[in-house]
Amino acid sequence: MNRLNVNQVRSEALFASGLQRSDALTVDALTDVISRTVRQLGVGGCISLMAQEFGDHPDAAAERMRWVRQLVDESFASRAACRAAQGALAFTGTLPACRPPADSSTLRVA
């Protein structure tokens, strides 16, 4: 599965979950919510719930998906970019220091 598909599944699972903006939004918490939701519903179940919401409440669903995608991008993309940079520079013997992305602090997503 490529990174785009992984982020898509993450977004679908967060969308289908009960996650709210007022929840503690750390990378660890998001990972737990994603895992739990995929275990409970499966990827197909997440997609079905998402499709139903877009059919029933398209404006609210679009806003939730924008928020969820921003969470996924902010939470997981920085990790992937850092790993890619480390891989590209590994032959030089100098690896960039990667700051851990908000694992223990709250994410700031509007």
Mean pLDDT for back-to-back runs of 10 residues, the chain (110 residues): 74 95 87 95 95 96 96 78 58 50 44
Q: Model pTM greater than 0.75? A: no
pLDDT at res. 19:
93
Asked whether 101 and 73 are in contact (CB, 8 A), the reply is: no
pLDDT score of 5: 84
CA dihedral (81, 43, 33, 12) positive or negative? positive
pLDDT at 75: 87
Q: What angle do CA 67, 73, 78 make, to 5 degrees?
A: 150
Q: What pLDDT is recorded for position 95? A: 44
What pLDDT is recorded for position 91? 52
Sign of the torsion formed by the C-alpha atoms of 42, 45, 49 and 55: positive
